[in-house]
Amino acid sequence: MLKNALVRTPSPELINGITRGKRDKADYQKALQQHEQYQRLLVEQGISVTVLEANSSFPDSVFVEDVVVCTPKCAVITRPGVLQRREEIKGLENVLPPFYDEIKKIEAPGILEGGDVLLAGSHCFIGISERTNHAGADQLTAILQQQGITATTVPIKDMLHLKTGVVYLENNTLLVNSKYQDHPAFRSFNKIIADTKEASAANSMWINGTVIVPAGYPVTRSNLEDAGYKTVAVDISEFEKLDGGLTCLSIRF
Ligand code: CIR
């Protein structure tokens, strides 16, 4: 059972966040409302939500998943792979102690972002992407090994992070972007496919038996419901304009 989530209120600077493609600018007021609705849904799933204050020095700081990896025994403050986000970790060492006795850090030359970390039971897949390198993955692997969790790396080419296209829905089941459905790394899992035209829906979020899906992807939602999952949708259009998905907006543990 997940008990806690950390989220960070979006700052007005959000509209200047990083995007890989050309997209419309996010609407800040709409983003604030969507973020509040996201928080409400977490609370409705029994999660205690801690809201960190907006940080206008870092437009992308609402995407908290990337800066902390929560493992069963310790929290790991990451070293973001993109320079604009590198200092976003400042102050996190003061936020985590109520939840974790032990806090570790990814150190140079390692880079690692939480979006690349897919914990699936007692195994962790770590995406090697523009944001996460082998040095970062090796450091996280060593931390996880001490807890009996194995880890392997998965090279990522066409996505921002590993979890952009693959998430764990518990019970040995993954929700995968159709491009990843035959990927050898995930051979031993049951798979639910995010529709080819709905690639963003792969970044859905299992919370205590319910799958929270981004609004606007009906085929993937019915694939999940056909597989027996209860689903609930939330509109995150303004965060999608910044390449953000559902999981990036919280750290869950
Ligand atoms: C970035 O490029 O870093 C942000 N605009 C989006 C981060 C999305 N994070 C995630 O998928 N975990």
User: For residue 7, with 0-12 CB atoms within 10 Å meaning exposed, 13-18 middle and 19 or more buried, which class applies?
Assistant: buried
Residues recognised as catalytic: 161, 248
Residue 214 has pLDDT above 80, yes or no: yes
Q: Does residue 248 line the site of ligand 1, with CB under 6 A?
A: yes
Three-class SS state of 18: coil
Measured CA to CA, the distance from residue 119 to residue 170 in angstroms comes to 10
Distance 225 CA to ligand 1 centre (A): 27
Which run of H or E residues covers position 234? strand 230-234
- 126-182: pLDDT as tens digits: 999 999 999 999 999 999 999 999 999 999 988 999 999 999 999 999 999 999 999
Residue 37 tokens read as 């609705």
The confidence score (pLDDT) of residue 127 equals: 98
Distance 240 CA to ligand 1 centre (A): 9
Average pLDDT rounded to a whole number, residues 212-237: 98
Distance 58 CA to ligand 1 centre (A): 12
Q: Does residue 154 line the site of ligand 1, with CB under 6 A?
A: no
- 38-92: pLDDT as tens digits: 999 999 999 999 999 999 999 999 999 999 999 999 999 999 999 999 999 999 9
SS3 percent helix, strand, coil of the chain, rounded to 5, is 35, 25, 40
Report the range of poorest mean pLDDT among 21-25, 46-50, 103-107, 149-153.
21-25
Nearby residues of 167 by Cβ (< 8 Å), 6 or more positions away: 118, 174, 175, 202, 203, 204, 205, 206, 247
Report the range of poorest mean pLDDT among 16-25, 60-69, 182-191, 214-223.
16-25
Q: Strand pairing of 103-105 and 75-77? A: parallel
Candidates 19, 63, 78, 159: which one to mutate for ligand 1, based on the most atoms within 8 Å of Cβ?
63
The confidence score (pLDDT) of residue 23 equals: 79
Quick check: 141 and 133 in contact, CB under 8 A? no
User: For residue 97, with 0-12 CB atoms within 10 Å meaning exposed, 13-18 middle and 19 or more buried, which class applies?
Assistant: exposed
Candidates 14, 16, 60: which one to mutate for ligand 1, based on the most atoms within 8 Å of Cβ?
60
Distance 12 CA to ligand 1 centre (A): 17
Q: Does residue 18 line the site of ligand 1, with CB under 6 A?
A: yes
What are residue 166's DSSP bridge partners?
176
Vertex 160, ends 53 and 37: CA angle to 5°? 40
Measured CA to CA, the distance from residue 153 to residue 166 in angstroms comes to 13
The confidence score (pLDDT) of residue 22 equals: 77
The confidence score (pLDDT) of residue 21 equals: 82
Calculate the dihedral angle through the C-alpha atoms of 128, 131, 134, 136, rounding to the nearest 10 degrees.
-130
Q: List phi, psi (to 5°) of 118.
A: -115, 100
Q: Quick one: DSSP state of residue 20?
A: S
Nearest C-alpha to atom 1 of ligand 1 is from which residue? Answer: 18
Q: Which atom of ligand 1 is nearest to the CA of 248?
A: 12
Candidates 25, 89, 248: which one to mutate for ligand 1, based on the most atoms within 8 Å of Cβ?
248
Average pLDDT over all residues of the chain = 97
- Convert 54-88 to b/e letters by CB count within 10 Å (16 or more is b): bbeebbbbbbbbbbbbbbeebbbbbbbbeeebbeb
Report the predicted TM-score, pTM, of the whole model to 2 decimal places: 0.97
Average pLDDT rounded to a whole number, residues 211-221: 98
Q: Which atom of ligand 1 is nearest to the CA of 131?
A: 3
Question: For residue 168, how many C-alpha atoms fall within 13 Å in the half-sphere facing its CB?
Answer: 20
